[in-house]
Structure 1
């Protein structure tokens, strides 16, 4: 963990933004609203508040968190889209922003056209967790059980199109298994049913999963990313455990409404990079299970986001996921 922190901090110094974090028109000169399109207390809310507090400190203006959960993040994202493109409304979006167009029959906005990527903030590995009552102790046993009893295993998610849903669908596709999806509105609603055994398993952000695992309430099988997580190095990756090619890394990043002036986007991007790679926020992020990303530009994040959107179109097609209303 110490080596990871040292490495990331060294990288951030090489890309450190200019000390001037204000646009020529004296932006920002009032409160900035950061829409978090997820429920209070969840993983998205955690990263939104951590980054928002540091952004406010660097920009000299308060960043007000506005939780607008629901519809896999679409309700909050749409609220940002419909806001003035003046730099005073941002949204802390996640993987679902890229995947929803591939999973929903209709969307009232186009994430690629109607939002401007500002900066990616962090990745969040997911952990495959099962209720301890299940006779499943590793990924190989999970695959064997699911194949022996098609559709019998139930997996929870925090909503259709969310990272917990997508991670499981990708697993089903690559492992050749059939499991039944049980969507909830938030992790906080799914967790009690998972702990009680009403649902069998979940692909859960490690920020939420590891405390339950360490308390003995859930059993961890593997992490979703291509490399082992520094927060739980004892856990194999899903690919190591037998599902070749599996790699899912949830991500979070800042977006602004399309039409926001480039000078303002540049200020926000520089502040975001400086915030995420500041020593104090780095420690908080890593301690809570987040993985800060290398500094990027709005153009680099835009390319990443476009590739993510295209990827989920392919996954939805290959997995034969039925578009929902």
Structure 2
């Protein structure tokens, strides 16, 4: 009888051991951070800065894996279908985890198939133009566009991209009309803007801020409620005369659905510690990125923000009948 009782206790303890020890031993091998865009782009740069410091906190290497294609939807599938063990996580942004749901026929659910880990950065856009465009401020730009309907051109990274949706939002608020010119990415579009082949862009500050500083493009406003620390001379849309045009390429980190809560807590702690590093914070500022306050860095805060953004942007995208260029 005693022997039977002892065996039951041993079996029970053994069955509990993996659950009890997993969170304690995680991570016991390298973690892969999936980036939905090519190396060298804005999201990749943020991922590499973050991964280095996360690895130091976790005690394991955080490997960056670039999984490109279809505006980040291939990477989204990679993370959504990965084992929920904390060893495959993904970085994404406003485009991949909000806009894509209204544009692409996704094979995964943006809210149900991921566990939020943390928001890492908020990068507002800049309204920029070729240097020779006549208007000198945002009010003059709006007036010029109204006087020249459908004559101006705005470069985008393709149908449904952040630059495209931002331009549609701008048109809705200002009653202006202009044509969109799709490119294979923001880089080629910016090159054509500098060359004077197109007139406008709604671009990530991290992509075009250096060109603004160099005078090869002109900036009318930043699409945020406060000025950029890296470019305090550029007015906000409120100051420039178009209140409410708030657009940001905020970035976050997600894990597959059903990743253990204890693992999410460890990953979040690693992100929060990384974001507190002074050198990383300075580098983010130089890239035109704003690190969210500590209370906005929790998994719950990221999930809530993502839901709010979906509620805001999906109706705009669908009303404009924006479709993916498949």
Q: Structure 1 length normalisation: TM-score?
A: 0.87
Once the two structures are superposed, residues 148-199 of structure 1 have per-residue CA deviations (whole angstroms, 9 ceiling, x without a partner) of 2222221112233333223222211111111222222322222222222222
Q: In 2 relative to 1, CA 231–81 (structure 1 residues): closer, same or farther, beyond 3 Å? A: same
After superposition, residues 75-224 of structure 1 pair within 5 angstroms as 75-96=74-95, 97-104=97-104, 106-224=105-223
**Which position in structure 1 is the counterpart of 2:11?**
none
Q: CA deviation at 1:25?
A: 4.1
Larger-gyration structure (1/2) = 2
List runs of 5+ in structure 2 lacking aligned partners: 1-20
Question: What's the secondary structure of 2:238's corresponding residue?
Answer: coil
CA contact (8 A) 1:33 1:88 kept: yes
**Which position in structure 2 is the counterpart of 1:8?**
none
The structure richer in helix per residue is 2
Q: CA deviation at 1:202?
A: 0.9
**Which position in structure 2 is the counterpart of 1:15?**
none
Q: CA deviation at 1:278?
A: 2.0
Of residues 54-63 and 67-76 in structure 1, the stretch that sits farther from structure 2 once superposed is 67-76
Once the two structures are superposed, residues 272-318 of structure 1 have per-residue CA deviations (whole angstroms, 9 ceiling, x without a partner) of 1111122222122123221100123211211111111111123225x
CA contact (8 A) 2:165 2:317 kept: no
Counterpart-to-counterpart distance in 1, 2:48 and 2:154: 29
The ranges of structure 1 where at least 4 consecutive aligned residues each deviate by more than 6 angstroms after the TM superposition are: none
CA contact (8 A) 2:33 2:90 kept: yes
Q: In 2 relative to 1, CA 159–58 (structure 1 residues): closer, same or farther, beyond 3 Å? A: farther
CA contact (8 A) 1:128 1:201 kept: yes
Question: What's the secondary structure of 2:288's corresponding residue?
Answer: coil
CA contact (8 A) 1:117 1:256 kept: yes
Counterpart-to-counterpart distance in 2, 1:55 and 1:159: 33
**Which position in structure 2 is the counterpart of 1:238?**
237
CA contact (8 A) 1:132 1:218 kept: yes
**Which position in structure 2 is the counterpart of 1:72?**
71
**Which position in structure 2 is the counterpart of 1:321?**
321
Residue 228 in structure 1 maps to residue 233 in structure 2: no
**Aligned Cα RMSD in Å?**
1.8
CA contact (8 A) 2:159 2:322 kept: no
Q: In 2 relative to 1, CA 103–273 (structure 1 residues): closer, same or farther, beyond 3 Å? A: same
**Which position in structure 1 is the counterpart of 2:298?**
297
Question: What's the secondary structure of 2:237's corresponding residue?
Answer: coil
After superposition, residues 33-72 of structure 1 pair within 5 angstroms as 33-72=32-71
CA contact (8 A) 2:153 2:199 kept: yes
Q: Count the aligned residue pairs.
A: 302
Q: CA deviation at 1:261?
A: 1.3
Q: In 2 relative to 1, CA 69–165 (structure 1 residues): closer, same or farther, beyond 3 Å? A: farther
CA contact (8 A) 1:95 1:162 kept: no
Q: Structure 2 length normalisation: TM-score?
A: 0.87
Q: CA deviation at 1:23?
A: 6.0
Counterpart-to-counterpart distance in 1, 2:263 and 2:175: 47
Counterpart-to-counterpart distance in 2, 1:257 and 1:54: 22
Counterpart-to-counterpart distance in 1, 2:248 and 2:58: 29
Once the two structures are superposed, residues 236-263 of structure 1 have per-residue CA deviations (whole angstroms, 9 ceiling, x without a partner) of 1123222232211220010111121111
Counterpart-to-counterpart distance in 2, 1:286 and 1:36: 21
Counterpart-to-counterpart distance in 2, 1:168 and 1:69: 24
